[in-house]
Structure 1
Amino acid sequence: MKAFKVLFNTVALMALTAMSAFAAEGAAGGSHKWVIYLTAGLCISIAAFGTGLGQGRAIASAVEGISRNPSASGKIMTTMIVGLAMIESLAIYALVISLILLFVV
């Protein structure tokens, strides 16, 4: 539950800083450009941390399943590879969002 609160607060902070960055678009000189850099960095770092944890848990579970039933290793490995691809796609989406923040906004 504590991890959920920390994650929620981090996402809320990122949303608030992104809104202030968009609001400062009309301001003189773009003085809030650092907020966009901070938000992009936080976005990709949180995504990398989360996907790393998810992939670690997936691999650990697959190894445990294979050790319990070695004859099912083919099905377990196939399912694990598909799951890892899905987990990795989340990091790629976060990378795209970070790049949009850096180069478009």
Structure 2
Amino acid sequence: MLIINGVDSATLNNPHHVVSGRFHKRSHMDIAVLAKAFAIAIGGIAPAIAIGKIGSKAMESIGRNPEAAGKILVPMLLAAAFAEAIAIYALVIAFGIK
């Protein structure tokens, strides 16, 4: 019998495992909650990084050429909106996971 960190193989193969002295049945709901968490986490990290880079590069270019601020602002806002849409799609997908 294999014992790793106090968990033996019989416990791992049993669909009912003891949690705080009570039996807990593993179900697809546990996996769905985990999938929702990953969808939001991964779907939120990339847009956050993208929006940060968009903003920093826009401010850097405005700092180099302040007269071009009006021409830079609109494309920056559009790019940020497209990046934010990816996060919204991830949220919709997370709500769709059953």
Q: Does TM, scored on the shorter chain, surpass 0.5?
A: yes
Matched letter for residue 28 of structure 2: H
Equivalent positions of 1:69-88 (< 5 A) are 69-88=65-84
Identical residues among aligned pairs (%): 35
Equivalent positions of 1:19-98 (< 5 A) are 31-98=27-94
- In structure 1, runs of 5+ residues without a counterpart are 1-28
Q: How many residues of Structure 1 are paired with residues of Structure 2 in the alignment?
A: 74
Larger helix percent: 1
Give 1 or 2 for the bigger CA radius of gyration.
Answer: 2
Matched letter for residue 85 of structure 1: A
TM-score (norm 1): 0.67
Calculate the aligned-residue CA RMSD, in Å: 1.5
Larger strand percent: 2
State the shift of 1:92 in Å. Answer: 0.3
C-alpha offsets along residues 51-94 of structure 1, whole Å, 9 cap, x if unaligned? Answer: 11110000000000001111110010111000000000000000
- In structure 2, runs of 5+ residues without a counterpart are 1-24
Greater than 2 Å deviation, 4+ residue runs: none
Report what 1:99 is aligned to.
Answer: 95
State the shift of 1:30 in Å. Answer: 8.0
